[in-house]
Amino acid sequence: MNLNSKTTGARRGFTLIELLTVISIIAILAALLIPALSSLSKQKYIKTATAELGQIQAAIDSYHAKYGSYPPSSTNGVQVSQLYYELSGTTYNQASSTYTTLDGQVNVKAADVANVFGAGGIVNCSKGSGEDAVPAKNFLLGLKPGQLGIISAGSGTVTLLVTSLRGLDPAYKPLGQLDLVPFCYNSINPTNNPGSYDLWIDLSISHKTNRISNWSRQVQVLP
């Protein structure tokens, strides 16, 4: 008896209709899952950006408690601001006309502070010596490396506060560089928080701009 021939005869492949049915089911499941996964990713992005905005907001409020005023915002636009230097605290080297953050990691030329930000200097800067010394303070402890963005400006580079999120929308480059989305800041003439400051960030997700701010708990989807 040829057992192999019987076994072979009992087998059969999938029919065309069965294959099409399976493919259709997979397509339907994919159509249901992809939007759900996209929504979860969007909520994750928004949650991260909201937490980072809250961290900066807390630092600004601590700065205000120390100095009695909010950090000055740039006169050259809300996206390019000296907020990082003000909140990190600096020392000033008169010989090189350079500000250095208290952690010693970042330098910026005084000329660039004036030309790029339109500021006369950094308020949160150590001044004097001895008993008359006024030390600067770092209000941004625990800041992630990914929350700093470096751009070419003035005679060198400047450092800005940006979101740590990456790869949201390659077409959205507010600073002209991929994956550098800045926190915007306005304390000169805030329109949403008069007498205080406006702080916000715009996330482009699926080609829609989602604005997270300190004046609304709801995410604004801009046209």
Based on the structure, what is the number of domains in the chain?
1
Q: Are 168 and 45 in contact (CB under 8 A)?
A: yes
Q: Is residue 1 part of a domain?
A: no
Q: Is residue 185 part of a domain?
A: yes
Q: For residue 216, give both structure tokens.
A: 């609304």
pLDDT in tens, 147-203: 999 999 888 899 999 999 998 888 899 999 989 999 999 999 999 999 999 999 999
Q: Is residue 12 part of a domain?
A: no
- Mean pLDDT, residues 65-73 taken together: 96
Q: Is residue 7 part of a domain?
A: no
- Least confident residue range of 25-29, 41-45, 105-109, 143-147: 25-29
**Which contiguous run of DSSP H or E holds residue 88?**
helix 83-88
Q: Is residue 161 part of a domain?
A: yes
| Domain span holding position 168 | 17-222
Per-residue pLDDT at 36: 45
Q: Quickly count: other Cβ atoms within 10 Å of residue 13's Cβ.
A: 7
Q: Is residue 3 part of a domain?
A: no
Give me the chain's average pLDDT, please.
88
Distance CA(107)–CA(123), nearest Å, equals 15
What is the share, in percent, of the chain residues with pLDDT greater than 70?
88
Q: Is residue 4 part of a domain?
A: no
User: What is the value of pTM for the model shown?
Assistant: 0.81
Q: Is residue 169 part of a domain?
A: yes
